[in-house]
């Protein structure tokens, strides 16, 4: 009886250790988390500073994450008197597959809506303001240890109501968990069509 209890104890301990190890992977894909980001984008004719929030949850379907995100920012144009504020909201689904050495290949589809409040010396600008958009990307999340991972992705976006509102981009990012709950993340995105660069830095909380 004692040997059976000892065997049962060891089995439970090993199962618990495996569960903890699986939960403490270095990546964000497959995790339930909230993220708070600050960002800066430099483009022809000005720049954009913004703040954003994202919530991600694993779905009941294995290998599928669902997320929602929103962001608000201020444009600073090179033209005197031209001012704009931007707000967007979106929802995304990420399908992923686990490969060797903890690498996760993924495909993400996102749909959303953006509103730009633009004025010139106090007069409302009725041109490019509101638009629905979609975004599709493919990439990989590559862990570099038990607490961190690097993400690379390539994607395409299209703002349906805007002229010259479509293009291709590449992203490289990294994240690191200080403990089971709190981590940081950062990324760099190059928009090849708009000739712009975007930088993000944020805090991530697992819950």
Q: Quote the domain boundaries for residue 185.
A: 2-206
Q: Which residue has the higher pLDDT, 7 or 62?
A: 62
79 vs 133, which has greater pLDDT?
Answer: 133
Q: What DSSP letter does each residue of 156-183 carry, written as one string? A: EEEETTSTT-EEEEEEEEEEEESSSSEE
Mean model confidence pLDDT for the chain = 86
More confident residue, 128 or 174: 174
Question: What is the C-alpha to C-alpha distance for residues 37 and 77, in angstroms, rounded to an integer?
Answer: 22
Q: What pLDDT score was predicted for residue 76?
A: 81
What's residue 122's pLDDT?
Answer: 58
Total of domains in the chain: 1
Separation of alpha carbons 92 and 35, rounded Å = 15
pTM of the model: 0.81
Question: Where does the pLDDT of residue 56 fall: very low under 50, low under 70, confident under 90, or very high at 90 and above?
Answer: very high
Q: Which CATH number goes with the domain that contains 32?
A: 2.40.160.20
Whether 8 shows a pLDDT value over 50: the answer reads: no
Partner residues linked to 75 by β-bridges: 48, 84
Q: Taking the CB of residue 163, how many other CB atoms lie within 10 A of it?
A: 8
Least confident of 60-64, 119-123, 161-165, 199-203: 119-123
Smallest CA-to-CA distance from 198 within 187, 183, 207, 184 is with 187
Quote the pLDDT of residue 123: 58
- In this prediction, residue 206 has a pLDDT band, given cuts at 50, 70 and 90, of very high
Work out the average pLDDT over 135-146.
96
């Amino acid at each position: 009886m004692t040997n059976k209890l000892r065997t049962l104890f060891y089995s439970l301990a090993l199962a618990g250790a495996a569960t903890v190890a699986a939960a403490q992977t270095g990546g964000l894909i497959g995790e339930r988390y909230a993220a708070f980001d600050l960002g800066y984008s430099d483009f022809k004719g000005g720049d954009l500073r913004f703040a954003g929030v994202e919530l991600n949850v694993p779905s009941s379907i294995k290998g599928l994450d669902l997320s929602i995100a929103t962001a608000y920012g201020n444009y600073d144009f090179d033209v005197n008197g031209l001012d704009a504020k931007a707000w967007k909201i979106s929802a995304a689904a990420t399908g992923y597959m686990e490969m060797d050495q903890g690498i996760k290949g993924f495909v993400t589809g996102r749909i959303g809506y953006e509103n730009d409040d633009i004025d010139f010396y106090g007069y409302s600008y009725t041109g490019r303001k509101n638009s629905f958009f979609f975004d599709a990307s493919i990439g990989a999340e590559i862990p570099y240890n038990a607490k961190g991972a690097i993400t690379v992705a390539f994607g395409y976006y299209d703002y349906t109501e805007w002229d010259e509102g479509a293009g291709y981009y590449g992203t490289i990012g990294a994240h690191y968990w200080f403990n089971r709950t709190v981590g940081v993340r950062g990324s760099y995105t190059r928009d090849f069509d708009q000739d712009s660069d975007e930088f993000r830095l944020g805090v991530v909380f697992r819950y």
